[in-house]
Amino acid sequence: MNSSQPNGHDRIVVGVDGSESSKEALHWAVRQAELDHSTVNAVLAWEYPPQYGSIGWITAPQELATDLEVRADQTLDGAISEVVRAHDAPRVSATVAYGRPSGVLQHAAQDASLLVLGRRRRGILGALRGSLSRHVTRHVPCPVVVVSEQSRRA
């Protein structure tokens, strides 16, 4: 391991779902990482829709999973492209994982120095429900910051 690489405790995990509040959280996390010389791991969780398996789904399970994962990748890449300035991009990594947002973020934050979430009203792909911040604050070993939606300054 290269000694100039930060260890897990120099890593900020941020939940991103494409909503404006999650983009604000990503922006906040990148600014914080710059101040404390950390890296940022932007994480998006995806799940099968709640109606999956009921009558009406024609798509084969593997095709559906591929479609949902591609949409999740595009959503996360789009949020990073929109929020992260070019000179900050090297400090940001992206992770798309299957599972409930609470579990995915809890796992991602196990060795992180900080978990950042946006306070959201709605999002896409079913990620980051309002009770998420209450759940993860009880189950992650690191501090949690919940960022309110506000206008980002350039």
User: How do the pLDDT tens digits run along the chain, 154 residues long?
Assistant: 333 344 456 999 999 999 999 999 999 999 999 999 999 999 999 987 765 555 555 555 677 778 889 999 999 999 999 999 999 999 999 999 999 999 999 999 999 999 999 985 544 444 444 577 777 878 898 999 999 866 454 4
Please report how many Cα atoms fall inside a 13 Å half-sphere around the Cα of residue 53, on the Cβ side. Answer: 4
Predicted pLDDT at 27: 97
DSSP summary character for residue 84: S
7 C-beta neighbours (distance < 10 Å), count: 11
Predicted pLDDT at 151: 47
The two tokens of residue 31 are 């600014």
Predicted pLDDT at 1: 31
Instruction: Tell me the C-alpha distance between 38 and 95, whole Å.
Output: 17
61 DSSP β-pair partners? none
Predicted pLDDT at 137: 78
Q: What is the DSSP string of 7-26?
A: -GGGEEEEE--SSHHHHHHH
Instruction: Tell me the C-alpha distance between 61 and 52, whole Å.
Output: 9
- For the chain, the structural domain boundaries read 8-107+135-142
What CATH number labels 8-107+135-142?
Answer: 3.40.50.620
Cβ-contact 7, 112 below 8 angstroms: no
Nearest Cα to Cα of residue 132 among 121, 141, 142, 33:
121
Residue whose entry in the numeric block shows the structure tokens 């710059």:
34
Instruction: Tell me the C-alpha distance between 82 and 144, whole Å.
Output: 24
Instruction: Tell me the C-alpha distance between 39 and 95, whole Å.
Output: 13
Predicted pLDDT at 128: 42
